[in-house]
Every structure is written in C-alpha cells, then in structure tokens.
Amino acid sequence: MSKISLLLIFSFLTLSPYMQAQDLKPPVAPKKTKTLEKHGHQRQDDYYWLNERDNPEVIKYLEAENAYCDAVMKPTEDLQNKLFEEMKGRIKQTDLSVPYFENGYWYYTRFEEGKEYPIYCRKKGKMEAKEEIMLNVNEMAVGKEYYSAYVAGVSDDNKMIAFAVDDVGRRKYTMRFKELATGKILADKIENTAGGATWAADNKTVFYSKQDDVTLRSDKIYRHTIGADAKTDPVIFHEKDETYNTYVYRTKSKRFIIIASSTTLANEYQILEANQPNGQFKLFMPRERGHEYSIDHYGEKFYIVSNWNAQNFRLMETPIAQTAKENWKEVIAHRADVLLEGIEIFKDYLVLEERMKGLNQMRIIEWKTKKEHYVDFGEPTYAAGGAYNPEFNTSKLRYGFTSLVTPSSTYEYDMATRQKTLLKQQEVVGGYNASDYVQERLYVKARDGVVVPISLVYKRGITKDGNNPLLLYAYGSYGYSTDASFSSSRLSLLDRGFVYAIAHIRGGQEMGRQWYEDGKFYKKKNTFYDFIDCADYLIAQKFTNSDKLFAYGGSAGGLLMGAVVNMRPELWKGVIAAVPFVDVITTMLDESIPLTTGEYDEWGNPNDINYYIYMLSYSPYDQVEKKSYPNMLVTTGLHDSQVQYFEPAKWVARLRELKTDNNLLLFKTDLQAGHSGTTGRFKRLKEEAFRTAFMLNLLGKSN
C-alpha cells in the first residue's frame, strides 16, 4: 500500500462519523432501537437498520470497518505479500485438467500463466486433434471486479453450448448460447436463472430454472427454444411449496430429463423422454415428508438410493413404467454401520459410494456375476469419490483421491483387472515431499460419551509439548461431511509450526445418518459441544494450548464459531468466522430472506415456540454478553445470497458494544462479492494470505 493510500485511510478513520477521535479506534455503529416480538417475547435489536443494503449510511459503515481493518493490518502487509507469493509460487500457473471423453469429444479446462480465470476447451476424437476454445473467461471478465462464467451444457449434436454468467456474486446467472463452429453468440438471453441448462435431444430445446426475485428460491422450470424470445418461454413446472427448491437435469443414459424438487428432508421427481421435449412430465412418485431419495436410469429400470425404512439408505430398482413405491425391489439392503451415499452406473458394473467408520469407500459390483470388491485407498484419513464418468460402455472408473498429505489426484481404475493408473496429481511447484509431514486420525470421547473423529496434519519433527499453534476447523451442518483433503496454501502454516486439525463433529454425516440427526433441531448444541471437546482434547494431548489455539469456520460453520466464542471465549487465541450465519432467530422468522423457508428442516421453525426457545438459546447474535472475547476476524460479501451481509455486520456491531476486552475484532466486507468470496484463483489466495497473516501476527510472527 502506498504512503498516499495509507494517509487516506487514516484521514478516513479520523473524519468518518463512525470513528472516535483517536487513531485506530474501531467504528461505532449508531444504535437505532427496533423491538422484535414473537410468542410474547421481546428482543431489542439496535442494529436491525444495517439490513438496508441500499442505504448510503450502511455502505459508509461497512467502508469504515474495512478501513479500520486495513489500518490495523497495515503492519502485516509485508507478511501478507510474502505469504501470497509463497502460495502463488506453489501453483502451476499453466495447467490442464484431466480430459474426459463424452459424445465424441475430449473436454478439459486449462489455465494460462498470470491469468485468473479458466479457459474451457475440447478436441474432437483424440487429444492430438486441433483445440477448440469454447469459453475464454479471461477475455470475458475484462474490467469486472467479480466474474463467474462456465459452460452449462453442450447440445447433443456438439454444435452449441449454453453458458452462464454472474458478474455480481448474487448467484443470479444470465444464460447465453454460442455456436461453436462460428463463435457467434446468439441473441437469446435468459436472465435471473439458477445457472444450469439441460439440453433435450432435439438440439434446440433447453430446460432451466429461475429464482424468485426476493427469496432467490429456485421455484420455476422453463422451456426455451433456441431463437425464441426468452420472455415468452413457458413455465413447465412451478414449485409452490416455499420449503422446496426445484432444478432440472438429464440422466447419465441421456434418455430422460428429470425435474427434481428438493427440501432438507424430502425429494420428488418428474420424468420425460429427452426426445420428446414438448411432452408432459410424469410424476415418478408423490413426495412424502421424510423420504429422501435420488434416481438414475439404466436399461429398462430406474435405480433409487432411498432412506425408505433405511436410515443409512439402501438401493432399490423398479421398471421404467412402474415407478410407484410398491413396485420397488431391493438391490442393496440397509446397513446400520454403512451409509450409502450414491451410485455410478456402467454397462457392466455398478459402483457404490459408501461411508464406513467415517471414511469414503468405493464398492464395485459386476452386474452379471454379482462379484464385488472395494478400491484400496491405503491411507488412514482421506477424501475419495467418483470423478465425472459420462461414458456407459467402459470398464474404466475415474475417481478422485486426496488426503492431508497427498495432493489432489485423479485415478483411472480398471474395474475388470483392478489396476489403477494415476492420470494427474496436483503439482506443488518448488517441490513437495509428503514424508515431511505427518497425518493422524484421533478419536475423542465427547462429554456424552460419543466418540468424535479428528483428522490432523503437522510438520514431521514437532514436539507435542503444548506449545504448538493449532488451527481447528469444522462445519457440522446439513449432513455435509468434511473429509481430509490437501491444500498447498496450508503448507505456509504447517511450515511455520502449525498443527492443522479437522473436527468431524455431529451435524455432518461422517459417521452415518444418525451423526447428522444428532446435530440438528433440538440436538444442535451437540455440534458446538463436540467442537469444544475436541479443542480441550487437543490441549490435553499437548498439541497446543489456549494461547496458541485458533478456530475457523464459514457459513453454518460460522454459526459454530459464533456459538463457541459465546460458550468458551477463553479457549481460543483467535477465531475466524467467514460469512457466518449468526442471527438465527431473526433470519429464520423472515421468509423473504433467501434460504429461510427451506431451512426449517435443518434448524427448526421458530414460529413454533419450542423451537424459538431452543434456537434463541444458542443464536450467536442474541447470546452476545458483556464479557471478554477472543481475537476475531469476521468476513462477508455484500452480495451474499446465502448468508446476508447484515448478519455478521450486526454481530460485530453488538460485539463492539458489549465486549470488555482489548482483543482485536476485525470486520472485512468484500463489496464486490457474494457467499463464495472473490473470483479468480490468485485473488482467493490474497484472502487466504490475509487470514494467515491475522493468525501469525497474533503470535508475534512477522515472517
């Protein structure tokens, strides 16, 4: 940062109405009391006004917080730059994804040195053929602070693509179409879509979903004919239940187009032959509360992964013409100790993706002989799963594998010979030796006796004397399992003596479906308790101590951060909460906010007084007290469509008002981005370097 820009920051800090007179005093948000009442209970919200996105006073406050954050972090600029160059230096800048073959073409994505965005390409028949560039996002993104674009679908005749563009970060995509032979972008322009495009077999019909303007719920499926005015596109299906989202896709066999309706605890599907795009969709079976399932097609049958009388799911099959549940036949039975997560169908093989003892498994079954075996991954903690496998008639399975010490790898596995071939492994530029690092899988007995896994990694040679800095990460919601994966940028922490740990807490699904059930609704606090118990265990085992222990979580994991700093503020040296969901009650009572109605089956509906009381007891914003809090860094995006920016803004304002300590509280808003942060592979590294510098600075490390 130049001397001039630094002077501008300090001038802003002095002149802003939110600042006190002394240098580097944090902003003070004005209190504008609003009383919120539900079930006869009143809550006073002094910062409710911060939800006015278009209010200039709100923007000025966010800018003041950014200026304060930048000024406080000014002494770490050299460290941030050093970290950024380290992280950037490990990335192979000119790189190519593993090509996959589909419908006569090899498809791949490549990056060029110094460029932020991908280039989507293909070659006909063989990789030695001439390259066709479908989209060069670098050219498209010129002059844009935020830009997300990708190929959403290729027509069956390979002549045209649909592509989606979002240049705000709100996840409202504009759909366009391009003739690949000529490079011509057609006049067709469909705005406010969810980003997906499903081609019918006639090469001129595309199905897509649109979002409600206010809630951003994907609620309508449309049919578009190339060349027609998008404003006249007919609505094929309207999902009127506000707790459901709807989307459309095509089966791997390409025979059927599927309209899916989904909420947290239920699914429903409608099917249509892809060669009859103007036909009527047929209901697969009526929705049932609590019935979660997915469908795929093979031959003359549909295959269904279902939790019907099967908490950990089972596999069923049914004839195409008889999809009612009474016709379903069991293929793979329910198992109490194995979670069935999904399937991949090939001509001669069925692949089951399972989870056993918290770890991914891939089970191969030959259709004819029913012989089966598992793929051997060979490490104690890892992440593995099927890659993109569009071809039916092959014995080759593509899968991805990574661990805390193994860079992201793509393998080709011959299901007949059981031979695996490494197609590509993420290259760590400058050299990387996995044997320089140690990964472990630990098991912690939580306060109620349940055993919680922890995956961790550190530089070989560290001493477990209680003096190591440690970063503990978790998510713990929606049944999302957090598996152990590699990060080249994480090496900047490990090489500076950090231990990195993942707590596989309840609310995820690592240990089976019950693991999720035991971390939601009236059991949500198990998620927070598990995280705290894991932290206490790591201290007891002398991996770290409270003066060197950091915590990090984002989105629903940001809720976790907000809860644990309220419950055990003294446990942490520093906490990073990214796009945190912290104003639980107010958000879940406002059905105009994106995602709210679809979340009732995750958190509960506070219109029910019992849920209201329970949710209120842990809602981070409502539970802020007059006491000491740890050092904290809170980040958000102004255009976030998942967790609105005003949740962390209000939380920080209340923390500033009530906290009694002198610890750092920094709030950084990306005024150009949404829930996923900035776009561009190098811009993201600047954010990571900033977070890393925040932690190192608190430890007194300047290098």
List the catalytic residues.
555, 640, 675
Q: How far is CA 552 from the centre of its chain?
A: 15
Using CA atoms, how far apart are residues 400 and 385, in angstroms rounded to an integer?
6
681-698 vs 77-89: helix crossing angle, rounded to 10: 130
Tokens matching residue 370: 């029913």
DSSP string over 345-358: E-SSEEEEEEEETT
Closest alpha carbon to 539 in 587, 476, 468? 468
Other beta carbons less than 10 A from residue 494's beta carbon = 22
Using CA atoms, how far apart are residues 457 and 437, in angstroms rounded to an integer?
7
Other beta carbons less than 10 A from residue 334's beta carbon = 17
User: What does residue 534 show for φ and ψ, rounded to 5 degrees?
Assistant: -65, -40
Using CA atoms, how far apart are residues 117 and 149, in angstroms rounded to an integer?
9
Sequence-separated (6 or more) residues with CB below 8 Å from residue 11: none
Cα pseudo-dihedral 384, 387, 392, 393, rounded to 10: -80
Sequence-separated (6 or more) residues with CB below 8 Å from residue 102: 390, 391
Q: Which residues pair with 339 in a beta bridge?
A: 355
Using CA atoms, how far apart are residues 108 and 100, in angstroms rounded to an integer?
7
Output the CA angle 372-376-379, nearest 5 degrees: 155
Using CA atoms, how far apart are residues 326 and 5, in angstroms rounded to an integer?
70
In this structure, are residues 414 and 399 in contact, taking their beta carbons and an 8 Å threshold?
Answer: no
In this structure, are residues 88 and 111 in contact, taking their beta carbons and an 8 Å threshold?
Answer: no
Using CA atoms, how far apart are residues 612 and 604, in angstroms rounded to an integer?
8
